[in-house]
């Protein structure tokens, strides 16, 4: 939640201009900026749906699947948007999208994108013989079923295999600057990454592609 949203350049410009318009017309609710308002997030997130509501949609270059977001914890989605905005995560389109958002906008959008069926039950019930050896480094945060053990850790259960692999490579190369994941990723071989991505992409219950709205400006959730 993830969170990288690829689009063709012309569509990106159109989406961004529309985003500014909707944000100016939708007042932020009073209260804690970390408490997301999913209804308001629904109104702000239609540009997100241009990529994240299309099953198996691909980032243009480099080519990999756009991540599934429905079921992800909103706290993690918020952290990811902040990382794209700050440049901690490197992705041109996502940086442009996040840079236009206030912290309240990001919290509201995250609440909407997470959906009503957030995955929260991390487990460690798969024996070592039935999973990749490298998964031992993942258990403390993602369990054996790929569900983050806390709200700050991402769920990767059922995520696209190529997206998981891409994220791990980005942590290795510094495209994502997280000290914990950076250190973990440095220990992985290409074969480890392939096996981990294959394993976690098949775990259940799984993240899902966002439900597609029938009309961008619909107020119906």
Residue 49 has pLDDT above 60, yes or no: yes
Same domain flag for 38 and 60: yes
Q: Is the pLDDT of residue 16 over 50?
A: no
**Residue 219 forms part of a structural domain:** no
Asked whether residue 102 falls in the same domain as residue 182, the answer is: no
State both tokens at 1.
Answer: 């939640």
Q: Do 14 and 52 share a structural domain?
A: yes
The verdict on residue 172 lying in a domain is yes
Are 133 and 100 contained in the same domain? no
- Which of 114, 142, 159 marks a domain boundary? 114
Domain range for 156 is: 128-201
Q: b/e for 29-54, b at 16 or more Cβ within 10 A?
A: eeeeeeebbbebbbbbbbbbbbbbbe
pLDDT tens, residue by residue, 91-119: 999 999 999 999 999 999 999 999 999 99
Res. 34 pLDDT band, cuts 50 70 90: low
**77 in any annotated domain:** yes
The larger pLDDT score, comparing residue 83 to residue 46, is at 83
Could you give the CA distance from residue 45 to residue 33 in angstroms, rounded to a whole number?
17
Statement to judge: residues 43 and 99 lie in one domain: yes
pLDDT in tens, 129-176: 999 999 999 999 999 999 999 999 999 999 999 999 999 999 999 999
Sign of the four-CA dihedral 54, 43, 29, 7: positive
What does the alpha-carbon distance between residue 113 and residue 181 come to, in Å, rounded to a whole number? 24
Do residues 90 and 14 both lie within one domain?
yes
Give this prediction's pTM: 0.81
**163: in domain:** yes
| Within-domain flag for 216 | no
Residue 91 lies in a domain: yes
* Cβ-based neighbour number of residue 2 at 10 Å: 25
Whether 81 and 146 map to the same domain: the answer is no
User: Are 109 and 195 in a shared domain?
Assistant: no
Bridging pattern class, strands 64-65 and 58-59:
antiparallel
213 pLDDT above the threshold of 80: no
Cα 72 to Cα 44, 45, 106, 108, 135, distances in angstroms: 18, 15, 14, 14, 20
Q: Is residue 4 part of a domain?
A: no
> Is the residue at 206 inside a domain?
no
**57 and 15 in a common domain:** yes
Number of domains in the chain: 2
- Whether residue 21 sits in one domain with residue 95: yes
Give yes or no: residues 25 and 108 share one domain.
yes
Q: How far apart, in whole angstroms, are the C-alpha atoms of residue 66 and residue 57?
A: 6
- Taking the C-alpha atoms of residue 84 and residue 110, their distance in angstroms, rounded to an integer, is 13
- CATH code of residue 148: 1.10.760.10
End-to-end CA distance of the chain: 20
């Amino acid at each position: 939640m993830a969170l990288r949203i690829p689009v063709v350049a012309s569509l990106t410009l159109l989406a961004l201009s529309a985003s500014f318009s909707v944000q100016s017309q939708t007042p932020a609710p009073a209260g804690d900026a970390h408490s997301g308002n999913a209804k308001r997030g629904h109104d702000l997130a239609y540009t997100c749906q241009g990529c994240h509501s299309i099953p198996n949609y691909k980032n243009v270059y480099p080519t990999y699947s756009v991540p599934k977001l429905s079921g992800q914890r909103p706290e993690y989605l918020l952290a990811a948007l902040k990382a794209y905005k700050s440049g901690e995560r490197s992705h041109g389109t996502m940086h442009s999208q996040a840079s236009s958002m206030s912290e309240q906008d990001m919290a509201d959008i995250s609440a909407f994108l997470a959906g009503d069926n957030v995955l929260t039950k991390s487990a460690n019930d798969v024996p070592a013989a039935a999973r990749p050896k490298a998964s031992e480094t993942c258990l403390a945060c993602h369990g054996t079923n790929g569900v983050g053990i806390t709200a700050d850790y991402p769920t990767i259960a059922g995520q696209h295999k190529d997206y998981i692999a891409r994220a791990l490579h980005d942590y290795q190369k510094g495209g994502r600057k997280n000290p914990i994941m950076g250190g973990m990723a440095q220990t992985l071989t290409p074969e480890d990454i392939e096996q981990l991505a294959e394993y976690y992409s098949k775990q259940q219950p799984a993240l899902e592609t966002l439900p597609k709205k029938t009309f961008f400006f619909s107020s119906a959730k």
